[in-house]
Amino acid sequence: MSMNVGIIGTGWVASKHLAALQKLSGVSVAAIAGRNATRANELARQVGAKTYEDYHNMLNIENLDAAFILLPPHLRGEVETACAAHVPGVLVEKPLSNSLTQAAEIKKMFDAAGTIVSVAYMMRYHNSVERAREIFKNDRPALVTGHWFSTLPSSAWWRDMSLSGGQFAQQCTHLVDAARYIVGEIATVSAFGATGFINDAAGYNGNDAMAVNVLFDSGAVGNFSVGCYPRAESIGNGIGLYIASRETRCSFSGWGMGLEIETADGHTEHFEEDGDGIFEKEDSVFLEAVRKHDSSLIRSSYSDAMRTLGVTLAANESCRRGRSVSL
């Protein structure tokens, strides 16, 4: 029996999930809901789906097995409540919210409804990330460094700190989550932000760059750096994550998390950077969990994703207050 899926949101990431879902057998995208009717119709034509401007109408009319909430964090709350009342499974785009309080309320609502929830931290599904996690289970890391340099997105909501949460919460959250998945929980955050450099972008009011120092529960220390620059991909490959113990060094590069592993005795391993196929893997696992009503299959639960959200919000708080923040 085919699973009927509904998409809420029509941005860039919606197109990635639609492409992935088309490759999965036994899955049908029944409907797409979005306020941008032109964009919704464009996406719907690719998969033969119906379109709705109001997701409430979609949820009331369509008999859906799962819904994908692919909206910015400032639009959260009501949409999760509506989906929990109508569908057994929900995939939620990161970040969960701009507020831990709101996220906690949403979690309680999902728990009460018995909803199977997956959060779209797709880096957890890379084979390279899983390999590093396996290595460092018995080889405690001492150092974690990550960076995310990108060009400045054009979306008005992304440039508004009050709506997006800023670049660290929007983009580098993936690296923070991958580091948590591999190394463990983060206990303390101390962040610094630079302003006054991006002065030619209408509506931009966030930090132009951030440096975030972290202390892990394990005793490992780390740093994450973010910034928006022209030709950002030429700056340290744009995206990177480095994790090192005394015996092993793992160096990830690129959005697809290619990996070079080197050990103290000279052994090396190499993983090519994954492409958009990671969306197919993530979506397949989520829908299988919905079919079986087995949340244990999912690598990023809502409660787990709340911990990553807590780290990114703590970094923003540290910038504002000029002091370290304990989680």
Residue 232 lies in a domain: yes
The pairing of beta strand 186-194 with beta strand 89-92: unpaired
Do 67 and 186 fall within a single domain?
no
Do 101 and 143 belong to one domain? no
**Residue 323 burial class via C-beta count within 10 angstroms: exposed 0-12, middle 13-18, buried 19 and up:** exposed
Residues 159 and 269 in one domain: yes
CB 143 within 8 A of CB 221: yes
> Does residue 231 form part of some domain?
yes
CATH number at residue 114: 3.40.50.720
Q: What is the pLDDT of residue 213?
A: 98
Amino acid at 200: D
Sequence-distant (6+) residues with CB within 8 A of 206 are 159, 160, 161, 164, 166, 167
Domain identity same for 25 and 58: yes
Close Cβ partners of 210 (under 8 Å, ≥ 6 residues apart): 166, 167, 168, 191, 192, 193, 194, 224, 225, 226, 227, 315, 319
Calpha distance 162→153 (Å, rounded): 16
Q: Which two tokens stand for residue 99?
A: 């507020």
> How confident is the model over 287-327, as pLDDT tens digits?
999 999 999 999 999 999 999 999 999 999 999 999 999 99
Say if 183 falls within a structural domain: yes
Range of the domain at 65: 3-121+291-298
- What confidence tens digit (pLDDT) does each residue in 245-281 have? 999 999 999 999 999 999 999 999 999 998 889 999 9
Q: Quick one: pLDDT at residue 95? A: 97
Domain count, the chain: 2
Establish if 32 belongs to a structural domain: yes
- Assess whether 86 and 106 both reside in one domain: yes
> Does pTM top 0.75 for this prediction?
yes
Strand order in the sheet with 27-33: 50-52, 27-33, 3-8, 66-69, 89-92, 116-119
Q: What is the pLDDT of residue 180?
A: 98
Is 190 part of any domain? yes
Per-residue pLDDT, 237? 78
pLDDT digits (tens, 9 = 90+) for 120-168: 999 999 999 999 999 999 999 999 999 999 999 999 999 999 999 999 9
Average pLDDT, integer, range 57-81: 97
Average pLDDT estimate for 43-54 = 96
pLDDT of residue 270: 98
Please report which confidence band the pLDDT of residue 2 belongs to, taking 50, 70 and 90 as the band edges: confident
| One domain, residues 100 and 248 | no
Q: Identify whether residues 197 and 315 lie together within a single domain.
A: yes
Residue 235 has pLDDT above 80, yes or no: no
**Which tens digit of pLDDT belongs to each residue from 70-104?**
999 999 999 999 999 999 999 999 999 999 999 99
**Residue 171: its pLDDT value, please?**
97
C-alpha dihedral over 86, 90, 96, 99, to 10 degrees?
30
Is there a contact between 217 and 172 (Cβ–Cβ < 8 Å)? no
Does residue 1 register a pLDDT over 70?
A: no
**91 and 127 within one domain:** no
SS3 19: helix
Do 82 and 138 fall within a single domain? no
Q: What is the CATH number of the domain that holds 202?
A: 3.30.360.10
CA dist 45 → 24, 56, 130, 277, 280 (Å): 18, 21, 36, 22, 20
Q: What percent of the chain clears pLDDT 90, i.e. is strictly above it?
A: 93
Flag whether 304 is in a domain: no
Query: Is the bond into 88 cis (omega within 30 degrees of 0)?
Result: no
CA distance 264 to 259: 17
Specify whether 206 is located in the same domain as 249: yes
- Give the model's pLDDT for residue 149: 95
Q: Does 272 lie in the same domain as 172?
A: yes
Look at residue 284 and tell me if it is in a domain. no
169 and 263 both lie in a single domain: yes
Q: Residue 276: what pLDDT?
A: 86
Query: What percent of the chain clears pLDDT 70, i.e. is strictly above it?
Result: 99
Q: What is the pLDDT of residues 199-219, one digit of tens each?
A: 889 999 999 999 999 999 999
